[in-house]
Amino acid sequence: MTESKLGWAVPLMRAGYIGKGLVYLAVAGISLYSIWRGGNARDTSSALGWLDTTWGGGVTLFVILVGMVAYALWRVLDATFDLEDYGREAKGIVARIGMLVTGAVHLGIGVTVFSLLFGSGGGSGEGSSIPRHVGTIMSWPGGRWIIGAVALLIVAAGAHYMRQGWTNEYRQHLRANPVTTRWNPVLKAGLIAHGVVVGVVGLLFGFAAWQANPEQAGGTGEAFSWLSGQIYGQILVTAICVGLLGFALFCLVNAAYRIVPKVSGPDVQTLAAKLMPR
C-alpha cells in the first residue's frame, strides 16, 4: 500500500485522540472531584465505571470505545508504514515498537469499556487486574525478567513523554495556529504530567519484579496511591491530576491539529517553527 493511499488513516488518528482525550478527562476530572470530597484519585477502570452510572455516560463510553479501537488501528498503521517519518534507524525502530505497545494498551482500555457497555460491568469496581496478570507472567520461567524488562520499557516511555514536554519536541507534530500557540503552556504541562504517571507505573512494575511480588505492580490508580504516600503526596497527586486535564487537552488538540508527515505533505507550518526563537 502506498503512502498516498493511506490518507484514510488520518480520520482514525483523529478519532483515536478524541477517545484518548475523553479517557484522561474522565480520570483527571473524576479524581479531582474525589479528592475535593475527601477521597482518593481514581484509576482508569473506576473512572470509566463511574461514567457508566451517569446520565449520558453510555454515549460517552461508546465514543471512547470507538476511539480506543481507532487509536489501536492507527498505531499499527503508523508503525507499519512509518507515517510519522521516524525512520529505520535504531531510534526510529524503538519509537515504532513503542507505538505498537501503546496501541495494545489502549485496546485494553477498549476491552474494559466494551465490558461496561455490553457485559456484566466487570471492571467498574473490582480493582486493577494488573497484579493478577503480572502474577501469571511471573509464574513462567524467567517471568521476573520479563516483568523487569516491561518495567524498563514503561519507565523509558514515561521519560520520553517528559523529555518531549520539557524540550518542546511535541511542537514538531502540531500545526501552528492560534489554538496551539495560545494553549502551548498547558499542552507542555499536560505532557510532562502524563510522563510522570507513566514513569511511576514503570517503577511499580520494577518493584514487583525486584521483590517477586505481583501485588506491587499496578496502573494509574496504584501510581496515584504511591505518589500520595510521598512527602506532600496529596498536593503532588492533585497537581498531577490538574496536569492530566492538560494532557486531555493535548490529546484533543492532537485530534484536530496533529501533522502526519507522510500524508499531510511538507508544506505545513509546525508549532515548533512558529515559536522558534528569532
Residue 110 is predicted with a pLDDT of: 95
Query: Where in the sequence is the domain holding 90, given as residue range(s)?
Result: 8-265
In a domain, 276, yes or no: no
In a domain, 16, yes or no: yes
CA 142 from chain centre, in angstroms, equals 28
In a domain, 166, yes or no: yes
In a domain, 273, yes or no: no
Q: What is the DSSP letter of 61?
A: H
Please count the other Cβ atoms lying within 10 Å of the Cβ belonging to residue 244. 26
Residue 4 is predicted with a pLDDT of: 56
Residue 263 is predicted with a pLDDT of: 82
In a domain, 100, yes or no: yes
In a domain, 70, yes or no: yes
In the block, residue with C-alpha cell 505545513: 268
In a domain, 49, yes or no: yes
The answer to whether the beta carbons of residues 165 and 247 sit under 8 Å apart is no
Where do runs of H (alpha helix) occur along the chain?
9-36, 44-52, 57-81, 90-118, 130-138, 143-167, 178-182, 184-211, 220-228, 233-257, 261-264, 271-274
The answer to whether the beta carbons of residues 69 and 17 sit under 8 Å apart is no
Residue 124 is predicted with a pLDDT of: 46
Residue 94 is predicted with a pLDDT of: 82
What is the tally of structural domains in the chain?
1
User: CA-CA distance, 67 to 202, in Å (whole number)?
Assistant: 25
In a domain, 213, yes or no: yes
pTM across the whole model: 0.92
Q: What is the mean pLDDT of each run of 10 residues along the chain (278 residues)?
A: 71 96 97 94 92 91 97 94 86 85 92 88 57 94 95 91 95 95 97 96 96 94 94 95 98 96 80 84
In the block, residue with C-alpha cell 479528592: 35
Residue 122 is predicted with a pLDDT of: 47
CB burial of 106-124 (b: ≥16 within 10 Å; e: otherwise) equals bbbbbebbbbbbeeeeebb
